[in-house]
Structure 1
Amino acid sequence: MTNTRLAIKLPGLDLKNPIIPASGCFGFGQEYAKYYDINRLGSIMIKATTAEMRFGNPTPRVAETPSGMLNAIGLQNPGVDAVIAEKLPWLAEHCPDLPIIANVAGFSNAEYALVTEKISKVKNVSAIELNISCPNVDHGNNGLLIGQVPELAYDAVKAAVSVSSVPVYVKLTPSVADITTIAKAVEDAGATGFTMINTLVGMRFSLQTRQPIIANGTGGMSGPAIFPVALKLIRQVAQVSNLPIIGMGGVDSAEDVLEMIIAGASAIGIGTANFTDPFICPKIIETLPEVMDKYGITDLETFIRECQEAIRG
């Protein structure tokens, strides 16, 4: 049964609750659907999709860390045509009322535009998450991510927005000196909102081989350890932009959800917590009303508005 206290609306997204499994941590929904009714979720961010099939990076590409994990999957996916032909129809059949956010990745503005144009035309895709910040692939640019350079970020977002049939939310990297300059460039390019943060970059070493555990050398660090970093960066962006933020980074409880909303988010992505507890999303949805009662929160839409008014004066 839907609890109307949890419902929120964002551009392109009418959510029964703010809980959204983050891209790369939920596949295309089919695996988790074996364990619970994924229609209970607010939305799903499907796995990153590129123009062509990608097998990703060599293994090992996952390593545990204190309070988190490293991953260097490398955008493994079947390619946009296969996603449109095979993955999205399954979601349309089994989750006809569930808003789908399609994560679009690429290595050039032309690829961002191509994938965005194709996938945004699919009926059950409600929004695009433009991934300009994956830390586990070589984008050229002298080792810099597109999302680390305001001019490059602007051009990539402009290319996608110009051909998209749905709102475009842009995924921001924490690996920048000043995230607000990137946010402003992305907003100027026509983005609808932000998703943030992507993973930090880290390493682990084997004592036995004295080599990096991750074959790629480095990996994206996620999990509870990065939660305070996410809060800080979300607050920074919320102070300079009125665009909605889908916050993510280490969230694994209803309390974390409310704290991230206080920081400036309007909806919440759940990532690594899905690996430690496959039922974490429905658990958070179930416990949110009780935690809201504890802190005198009547409904999330009002709470979000009050928090954002406090941030922006």
Structure 2
Amino acid sequence: MVTLIREDNITAGGILMDNHLILAAGILGTTGASLNRMLSNGAGAVVTKSIGPSPKEGHKGPCVYVMDGAVLNAMGLPNPSSDFIEELNVLKDKPVIASIFGADPDEFHEVASWFKGKVRGFELNVSCPHAQGYGAQIGCNPGLVLECTRAVSRTGLPVWVKLTPNVTDIKESGIAAERGGASAVVAINTLKAMRISTDLRRPVLGNLTGGLSGPAIFPVALRCVFELYKALNIPVIGCGGVSSADNVIEMMMAGASAVEIGSAVLDRNDIFEKIAGDLYSEEGEKASDIIGCAHE
């Protein structure tokens, strides 16, 4: 397997990180303590739980269904809104990215304003497939993606836009984000999906449908990274089903400048140490020689 040299001052999308591995939004990102633990366990940066303009309790349960090779969830963006800011006090000067959402550009800008001076940048959630009025309902409209990105870009901090795969052409949303001033795009959020219990004769999730994550979606995420790398002039952050160092290298060869890891943390919370141990070596290659090489 190809390995990387461990480099200092790793930057992706304008954000300085300790390595190329990032904790994805929604996984152990609800408290400052859990985010800090992931950094201590080897994550190069962490993304918070998605925070919105007002508190939300989320969907009724069941909210999570675990399968072989995949996880189905419909949390409904539960969050404490501005009260979350206090959780960041224990993370001062650490590589933290705030995931934020809103129903329109004004709400995105309002939420972003709470975090200025406390995080290194933002990740715009315009891709959650199970939150009425938010997430993918914004991300399916390139015009709204552009305007929401532009609104948050006014903060002066780096802005990553997390894209939904539940569209005909993900490149359109990526181009809109770039035009709006995004520093990077993140590909991808979960795939809209469902399962039905044949015993109960009803969907397994309280919301009926949810977002599919885990190794089963890795090929979809890889394809999206590959397409976006060709279409954009800003970095792409890979996300979706990554669970090994070889997955990271594959994502980087497709064009990812860094990689987010989410569902794999559910199996082992030391996944960042494990992957980093396999990913980096003294005999490794520079990341810049790997990123996008599959396009040559």
Q: Which position in structure 2 is the counterpart of 1:298?
A: 285
Q: Are 2:154 and 1:153 equivalent residues in the alignment? A: no
Q: Select between 70-79 and 281-290 the one with higher mean Cα deviation.
A: 281-290
Tell me, in whole angstroms, the C-alpha distance in 2 between the residues paired with 1:10 and 1:64. Answer: 31
Q: Which position in structure 2 is the counterpart of 1:114?
A: 110
Q: Which position in structure 1 is the counterpart of 2:194?
A: 203
Q: Displacement, 1:16?
A: 2.2
Q: Which position in structure 1 is the counterpart of 2:168?
A: 177
Q: Displacement, 1:193?
A: 0.8
Taking structure 2 as the reference length, the TM-score comes to 0.91
Q: Which position in structure 2 is the counterpart of 1:82?
A: 83
Q: Deviations over 1:275-298 (max 9, x none)?
A: 1111111111111125x95xxx42
Contact 2:146 2:176 in 1 (8 A): yes
Q: Which amino acid aligns with 2:111?
A: V
Q: Which position in structure 2 is the counterpart of 1:71?
A: 73
Q: Displacement, 1:160?
A: 1.9
Distance 1:99 1:33, change over 3 A: closer
Distance 1:171 1:37, change over 3 A: closer
The correspondence for 1:253, drawn from 244, 248, 254, is 244
- SS of match in other structure, 1:40: coil
Q: Deviations over 1:5-26 (max 9, x none)?
A: 3752224322221010100012
Q: Deviations over 1:237-276 (max 9, x none)?
A: 1001121111110000000000000011000100100011
Tell me, in whole angstroms, the C-alpha distance in 2 between the residues paired with 1:144 and 1:229. Answer: 17
Q: Are 2:228 and 1:237 equivalent residues in the alignment? A: yes
Alignment gaps of 5+ in structure 1: none
Taking structure 1 as the reference length, the TM-score comes to 0.87
The RMSD of aligned alpha carbons is 2.1
Tell me, in whole angstroms, the C-alpha distance in 1 between the residues paired with 2:152 and 2:200. Answer: 44
Q: Displacement, 1:130?
A: 0.5
Q: Are 2:61 and 1:91 equivalent residues in the alignment? A: no
Distance 1:144 1:166, change over 3 A: closer
- SS of match in other structure, 1:220: strand
Q: Which structure features the higher share of helix residues?
A: 1
Q: Displacement, 1:62?
A: 0.4
The number of residue pairs the alignment matches comes to 291
Tell me, in whole angstroms, the C-alpha distance in 2 between the residues paired with 1:11 and 1:263. Answer: 17
Distance 1:7 1:250, change over 3 A: farther
Q: Which amino acid aligns with 1:129?
A: E
The correspondence for 1:12, drawn from 7, 14, 35, is 14
Q: Which position in structure 2 is the counterpart of 1:30?
A: 33
Q: Give the % identical residues.
A: 37
Q: Select between 268-277 and 149-158 the one with higher mean Cα deviation.
A: 149-158
Q: Which position in structure 2 is the counterpart of 1:191?
A: 182
Q: Which amino acid aligns with 2:123?
A: E
Tell me, in whole angstroms, the C-alpha distance in 2 between the residues paired with 1:215 and 1:19. Answer: 32
Q: Displacement, 1:108?
A: 2.3
The correspondence for 1:130, drawn from 124, 131, 138, is 124
Distance 1:254 1:7, change over 3 A: farther
Alignment gaps of 5+ in structure 2: none
